[in-house]
Structure 1
Amino acid sequence: MTQTEPAKTAQDAAEPSTCIICRGTNFRFAGTSHGYRIFRCEGCGFHFVHPTPPLDEIAAIYEKYSSNTLYSAKADRKVQRAMKQIKRYRRLAKGPRFIDFGCNIGTAVEAAHRLGFEAYGVDIDEESVGIARKQYPSGRYHAGPVESLPEDWKDFDFAFMIEVIEHLPDPHAYFEAMRGRLKPGALLYLTTPDAGHWRVPRDFTAWKEVFPPQHLHYFTRKAMRRFLTDHGFEVIRFIWSPKSRLKVLARKL
């Protein structure tokens, strides 16, 4: 890892032109990690891998490093943790329909079900959804992109998105599809690594959350507020965390 920009290849010769969050044009090279170049937008602090890796390259990495075994081993603990989070904010939800975007093996879906919600979960990984259906059959699950959700999966009152947005090749497209499934006034609880946290080292690529191509985008609070506002959400509050975690509660306008 280095702060000195490496020699460019034909693949990475193009520099970033416009920040996908604030549309700024002033960037700083932040370093390389696992062969991927990372830049920082000087306008909003958003960090990102550039160029974005091809989708087949990203998919191959996920197939190689599946974490289902690890998640299954911690499943009971994760259900209890999700129940605490849902209890904390459910009074702000305006109805009983809950959905977890990026549900993995279904622990948050199960937590919501135990708390009386109509609980749904979607994940791109078929293996994870298969485990969820077997382990937590009270929920409803869908394997595939959010754009492929069944027609009746809509009008949700409360949405979770836990450690998902940093993985998305196109977060704007995902949010547009996701937003269309939520009721006006729906509550969104989102977490992602916090690129503006005081624990992030001066050498950005030394941060433990920097491991492309699994993580492609790194938000600051400023960048997240701009992103959510642009997608029709009002930030209720950012939730302080001692860890380098950005936690935000927002509502669909």
Structure 2
Amino acid sequence: MDELIVADDPLFRPVDIHARELYRFQRAFEATQRPTGKKILDIGAYPGTAFKVFGQHNQYQSFGITQSDYFSEFLRRNAIVHINESIESYRAPSDADIILFMEIIEHLRQPLRALQNLRAIAKPGALIYVTTNNASYYGYILKLIFGRNPLDSIASEASDYPGHTRYYGLHELMTEMSRAGFEIVSGRHLNLLPAVRFYRNRAFAAVKNSIGAVVPARYATHIEIVARA
């Protein structure tokens, strides 16, 4: 059984996290042209939801430092090859056709080095799919208006799941990826929010998702970049 219960989360109900986050990886699958027979490298693969979408018809490999007993068992049960390293220090070349770099860079303390290492890892022609939180997300603007910090405490650096240390604008991140040696294929703002049913407060979630549907794209929750090495 692959169910992973998320307990003590003030925002979301205790549900199977794979079910809650599946939509993000289905979006990635479409944006990378529904790959079949490809080699996939999933950087920051915990908790393994990408495997459920990409792993059926592709050769899947996960990457990232993990201390999770659940994830270790998930890797073992699904016979997934895992590289237990940090993208901020790892530079060994990969033969992956597609590299997933989803919801990772906002956690990193050395993001520029990570992008440089990502370029060193990627073989010529490899497709890179990136998502991260949008610095201009309407939710962060509202937090600032009400005097709340949209970033996590620096104390989170010492936790098993380091918090968000920085957010990025679309053109800023595309520029830095270009400087690192990537060819930008596309870049866009998009909303990536779980369905209302997954929130503890469904009324709050309905309002939150509704705002996202009507505000200009530049204030969307996330940015998405597709690039080639």
Q: Which amino acid aligns with 1:124?
A: I
Q: Which residue of 2 aligns with 1:76?
A: 18
Verify the 8 A CA contact 1:121 1:141 in the aligned structure 2: yes
8 Å Cα contact 1:189-1:247 kept in structure 2: no
Point out the structure with the larger strand share: 1
1:238 and 1:174 mapped to 2: Cα distance?
Answer: 19
How far apart are residue 199 of structure 1 and its match?
A: 4.4
- Given that 1:98 and 1:156 are in contact with CA atoms closer than 8 Å, whether structure 2 keeps it comes out as yes
Q: Which stretch has the larger CA shift, 92-101 or 181-190?
A: 92-101
Of the three residues 151, 156, 172, the one matched with 1:210 is: 151
* Structure 2 equivalent of residue 179 of structure 1: 119
In structure 2, relative to structure 1, the CA distance for the partners of 1:176 and 1:111 (3 Å cut) is: same
Is 1:142 equivalent to 2:83 in the alignment? Answer: yes
Between the aligned partners of 1:165 and 1:91, the Cα distance in structure 2 is: 23
Say what the alpha-carbon RMSD is for the aligned residues: 3.1
Count of aligned positions: 182
Residue in 1 that maps onto 2:44? 102
Deviation at 1:162, TM superposition (A): 1.7
Alignment of 1:212-231 (within 5 A): 212-213=153-154, 214-231=163-180
Aligned in 2, Cα 1:248/1:83: closer, same or farther, shift over 3 Å? closer
Structure 2 partner of 1:196: 136
CA contact (8 A) 1:238 1:249 kept: yes
Of Structure 1 and Structure 2, the greater helix share is in: 2
Contact 1:94 1:157 in 2 (8 A): no
1:161 partnered with 2:107: no
- Distance of 1:175 and 1:129 partners within structure 2: 25
Question: Counterparts of 1:108-147 in structure 2 under 5 Å?
Answer: 108-114=50-56, 116-127=57-68, 129-135=71-77, 137-146=78-87, 147=89
Distance in 1, Cα, partners of 2:24 & 2:30: 10
Q: Give 1:124 deviation, angstroms.
A: 1.5
**TM-score normalized with structure 1 length:** 0.60
Residues 215 and 87 (structure 1 numbering): CA distance in 2 closer, same or farther, change over 3 Å?
A: closer
| TM superposition shift of 1:88 | 0.7
Counterparts in 2 of 1:223 and 1:126: CA distance versus 1, 3 Å: same
Bigger drift between 198-207 and 218-227 goes to 198-207
In 2, Cα distance between equivalents of 1:235 and 1:74: 34
Task: State TM-score, norm by structure 2.
Answer: 0.66
Cα 1:241/1:76, change in 2 over 3 Å? same
2:217 is the alignment partner of 1:241: no
User: Partner amino acid for 2:117?
Assistant: A
Distance 1:82 1:125, change over 3 A: same
Identity of aligned residues (%): 16
One-letter amino acid of the counterpart of residue 188, structure 2: I
* Residues 25, 49 of structure 2: 8 Å contact kept: no
- Distance in 1, matches of 2:166 and 2:52, equals 28
